[in-house]
């Protein structure tokens, strides 16, 4: 069984919904995870904000605007009067339900229920369309099987068991539609997997049914080998190891969030990133396989601050690094890159909320130098130490650029360079030219 996930823009207009239907009606049995129509979750958050601020008029206005949009969508999507009627009646109940929250007390419990309605509406609309068009489809409600435990972590055992019940109830269906993002918590209350959580839903469902693959459909042809906003001639990466994808996501590439793909990674299920605008393009496959001897992609992380602590006291001393790191820990500031020498240590951080306090405390240990407006350039691929020459290729590309720090060997998949943000574009372009375009 395959699991396919489509985001908000893929179901954002009647035409886009029809395009999705074309992609999911190939006769194979599958589970389809849908987001809310684009903009809807934001509107639902807006409604909640009005209600927190005790402004029911504002909330009602947003509800009315949203309702108009949905009614228009229904008029354009369905061909039969019967299905139009049925869907409009369903939506009327939905919008009346939303309006009911403008009257009583409003807490985060109500907010969770409100933001869940976007996915509930989009999935019902697509299922109705499939049924109208004669496809063998059914809706399986995520609130019946998607659940988090007391630590707010997905309860995979529960999900597996309850999802099976849902699928077994309709064993002969071709297409099972379900909601991304929404779930129940350990107490059975409506909850969600955080904004953008539909990818996580797809990954969890994939792991729960031991899917043959998980497809994440978006508007781009997979993951590119460099940032197309800064670099010319980028091209899609055909394959990434889960670790490589995680490194790239962390360093700013627009790709799945690492936690989202974790269930798929542990279950060993490949995740494909595909493009609804170009469905036959190969996209990017993320799996547990390493493609030997290849540099895959480059990404940059902005707004980095570098801090260098030099101290003769570090010379031959033990415990020095612990004391330095404890300062960052006490200010809940995580460190991205580290480089050490016998007389100093350099670190980079991206959260500067407590920078002044951190620097003040670090001064106890020696001289402290702070460089702001830096960026981390990260080169990802099979960078195992056995692959001689790969680091030199990357450094060769940066030979014209002042490099403040280098980090290599932290994983087998990454080499990172800290440079001034002013040199970012030049560095990215040069890396593309040296690593991919020759």
Contact residues toward ligand ASP (CB under 6 A) are 7-8, 35-36, 41, 118, 180-181, 195-198
Structure tokens at 288: 């547990």
Q: How far is the CB of 7 from ligand ASP (least distance, A)?
A: 6
C-alpha–C-alpha distance, residues 228 and 427, integer Å: 14
Q: How far is the CB of 170 from ligand ASP (least distance, A)?
A: 25
Q: Which C-beta is closer to ligand ASP: that of 200 or that of 390?
A: 200
Q: Which C-beta is closer to ligand ASP: that of 5 or that of 308?
A: 5
C-alpha–C-alpha distance, residues 401 and 306, integer Å: 17
Q: Which C-beta is closer to ligand ASP: that of 262 or that of 288?
A: 262
Q: How far is the CB of 330 from ligand ASP (least distance, A)?
A: 33
Q: How far is the CB of 44 from ligand ASP (least distance, A)?
A: 9
Q: How far is the CB of 200 from ligand ASP (least distance, A)?
A: 8
Q: Which C-beta is closer to ligand ASP: that of 271 or that of 415?
A: 271
Q: Which of 23, 25, 21 is nearest to 272 (CA)?
A: 23
Q: Which residues have a Cβ under 8 Å from the Cβ of 37 and sit 6 or more positions away?
A: 8, 11, 12, 70, 73, 118, 121, 122
Q: Which C-beta is closer to ligand ASP: that of 117 or that of 226?
A: 117
* SS3 per-residue string spanning 46-89: HHHHHHHCCCHHHHHHHHHHHHHHHHHHHHHHCCCHHHHHHHHH
Q: How far is the CB of 40 from ligand ASP (least distance, A)?
A: 7
Structure tokens at 175: 């297409």
Torsion of CA 391, 397, 399, 401, to 10 degrees: -110
Structure tokens at 59: 């909330």
Q: Which C-beta is closer to ligand ASP: that of 193 or that of 245?
A: 193
Q: Which C-beta is closer to ligand ASP: that of 201 or that of 346?
A: 201
Q: Which C-beta is closer to ligand ASP: that of 197 or that of 263?
A: 197
> Helix or strand or coil: residue 100?
helix
Task: Check residue 37 and report its DSSP letter.
Answer: P
- Strand 344-349 to strand 295-310: parallel, antiparallel, or no bridges (unpaired)? antiparallel
C-alpha–C-alpha distance, residues 409 and 53, integer Å: 51
Q: How far is the CB of 390 from ligand ASP (least distance, A)?
A: 36
Q: Which C-beta is closer to ligand ASP: that of 191 or that of 423?
A: 191
Q: Which C-beta is closer to ligand ASP: that of 199 or that of 382?
A: 199
Question: What's the burial of 76, exposed, middle or buried (CB within 10 Å: 0-12/13-18/19+)?
Answer: exposed
C-alpha–C-alpha distance, residues 139 and 126, integer Å: 9
Tokens 């019902």 locate to: 124
Cα of 435 vs its chain's centroid, Å: 27
Cβ atoms within 10 Å of 48's Cβ, excluding its own = 21
Tokens 């595909």 locate to: 274
Q: How far is the CB of 148 from ligand ASP (least distance, A)?
A: 15
Structure tokens at 99: 């309006």
Q: Which C-beta is closer to ligand ASP: that of 180 or that of 206?
A: 180
Q: How far is the CB of 45 from ligand ASP (least distance, A)?
A: 9
C-alpha–C-alpha distance, residues 81 and 362, integer Å: 71
Q: Which of 209, 390, 213, 223 is nearest to 288 (CA)?
A: 213
Tokens 């002013």 locate to: 422
Give Rg (Cα) of the chain: 25
């Amino acid at each position: 069984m395959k699991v396919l996930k489509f985001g908000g823009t893929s179901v954002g207009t009647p035409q886009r919904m029809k395009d999705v239907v074309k992609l999911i009606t190939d006769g194979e049995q599958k589970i389809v995870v849908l987001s809310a129509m684009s903009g809807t979750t934001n509107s639902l958050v807006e409604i909640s904000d009005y209600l927190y601020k005790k402004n029911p008029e504002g909330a009602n206005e947003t509800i009315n605007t949203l309702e108009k949009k949905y009614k228009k969508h229904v008029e354009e999507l369905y061909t039969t009067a019967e299905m139009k009627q049925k869907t409009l009646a369903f939506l009327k109940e939905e919008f009346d339900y939303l309006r009911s929250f403008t009257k009583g007390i409003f807490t985060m419990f109500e907010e969770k229920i409100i933001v869940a309605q976007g996915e509930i509406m989009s999935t019902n609309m697509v299922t109705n369309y499939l049924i109208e068009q004669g496809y063998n489809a059914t809706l399986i409600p995520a609130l019946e099987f998607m659940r988090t435990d007391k630590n707010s972590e997905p309860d995979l055992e529960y999900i597996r068991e309850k999802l099976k019940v849902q699928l077994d109830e309709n064993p002969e269906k071709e297409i099972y539609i379900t909601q991304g993002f929404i779930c129940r918590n350990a107490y059975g209350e409506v909850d969600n997997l955080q904004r953008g959580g539909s990818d996580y839903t797809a990954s969890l469902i994939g792991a729960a049914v031991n899917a043959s693959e998980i497809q994440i459909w978006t508007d781009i042809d997979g993951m590119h080998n460099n940032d197309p906003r800064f670099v010319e001639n980028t091209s899609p990466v055909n394959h990434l190891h889960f670790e490589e994808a995680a490194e790239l996501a962390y360093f700013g590439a627009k790709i799945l969030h690492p936690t989202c793909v974790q269930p798929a990674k542990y279950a060993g299920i490949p995740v494909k990133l595909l493009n609804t605008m170009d469905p036959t393009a190969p996209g990017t496959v993320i799996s547990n396989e390493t493609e030997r001897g290849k540099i895959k992609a480059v990404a940059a992380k902005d707004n980095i601050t570098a801090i260098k602590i030099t101290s003769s006291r570090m010379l031959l001393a033990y415990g020095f690094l612990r004391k330095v790191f404890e300062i960052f820990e006490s200010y809940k500031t995580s460190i991205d890159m580290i480089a050490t020498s016998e007389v100093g240590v350099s670190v980079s951080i991206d959260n500067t909320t407590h920078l002044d306090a951190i620097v003040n405390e670090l001064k106890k240990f020696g001289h402290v130098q702070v460089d702001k407006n830096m960026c981390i350039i990260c080169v990802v691929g099979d960078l195992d130490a056995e692959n001689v020459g790969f680091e030199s290729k990357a450094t060769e590309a940066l030979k014209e650029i002042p490099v403040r720090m280098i980090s290599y060997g932290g994983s087998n998949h990454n080499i990172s360079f800290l440079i001034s943000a002013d040199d970012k574009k030049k560095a990215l372009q040069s890396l593309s030219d040296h690593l991919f375009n020759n």
